[in-house]
Amino acid sequence: MSTTLITETGSPLPGQRKAPSAFSASQLLASIPGALKKLDPRFMWHNPVMFVVEIGAALTTSGSARQSPSHRFPTVRAAGIKAVPGRGALGPIVTAGQPPSDILNVVPLPAGAQVKNGSKVNNTIGLYDHSLSFTIPVSEQKVITFYRAELRALKWQLVSQGPPPHGVVGYQIVGQHPSSDGYEWEVGVTITPTTFGAGTGTAETTPFTLRLFAVTDD
């Protein structure tokens, strides 16, 4: 039996021939169609072990392709309406990395709320002060109950509840939450009275506005 010595560079020593490969390129190419054919389930079922392996691989792959939510958003029983993350809907008022992620992640929306087109407002106060308005087909009281319960559940400290200032009609809830950026952030939810369309049985609609504000020393 002959032995071929290989140098550090991977080449045979002078005077020695490199052992031929067991498979040539033409042999590998010729074997591909047959290998693929054997993966067909119509052939695989003849081999129960391999058939089960193929099914398991398919299920695992399909399961990993589905994106799971980054975190489970809590809905407390007292809220009365399912809570959904507000982060995506608040996109129109996210600018230059503000509000920070840890604040966006704790802003809830009641399921079914829709953004009012053209409602984003930059109040140009301090580091950040923006608002966005929504509508939802439930009563004013249900929206109030939702935000009282959900903001508490998400560790917002409720610092104010009651009629909005400056004679604005409706109800306002203000919560405060610390952030990793070193600032306290406030969310103000102003819920205006429910409106009804013309005619009997028309669905109710309640507008509300979310305002996010960075509390600074300025």
Residue 64 clears pLDDT 50, i.e. is over it: no
Beta-bridged to residue 71, according to DSSP, are none
* Residue 122 covered by a domain: yes
Residue 68 clears pLDDT 70, i.e. is over it: no
Average pLDDT over residues 39-64: 56
Q: Which of 22, 185, 194, 208 is nearest to 115 (CA)?
A: 208
Percentage of the chain exceeding pLDDT 70: 64
- Is the same domain home to 53 and 106? no
For 55, the domain range is 25-65
Tokens of 130: 């923006």
Distance CA 89, CA 175 (A): 19
Instruction: Say if CB 139 and CB 207 are below 8 A apart.
Output: no
Query: How many Cβ atoms are within 10 Å of 48's Cβ, its own excluded?
Result: 9
Give the pLDDT confidence of 5-20 residue by residue, as tens digits.
Answer: 434 444 454 555 555 5
Residue 40 clears pLDDT 50, i.e. is over it: yes
Please tell me the least confidently modeled range out of 38-47, 158-167, 179-188: 38-47
Please tell me the least confidently modeled range out of 65-69, 158-162, 213-217: 65-69
- Is the same domain home to 161 and 195? yes
Mean pLDDT of the chain: 80
* Higher pLDDT among residues 72 and 208, named by residue: 208
Average pLDDT over residues 181-197: 93
From 17, 33, 65, give the residue that closes a domain: 65
**Residue owning tokens 């939702």:** 146
Give the pLDDT confidence of 90-105 residue by residue, as tens digits.
Answer: 999 999 889 999 999 9
- Is the same domain home to 34 and 138? no
* Residue 173 covered by a domain: yes
Percentage of the chain exceeding pLDDT 90: 53
Residue 21 clears pLDDT 70, i.e. is over it: no
Number of folded domains that form the chain: 2
Specify the pLDDT at position 54. 57
Average pLDDT over residues 136-154: 96
To which H or E segment does residue 132 belong?
A: strand 129-136
Residue 63 clears pLDDT 90, i.e. is over it: no
- Is the same domain home to 83 and 191? yes
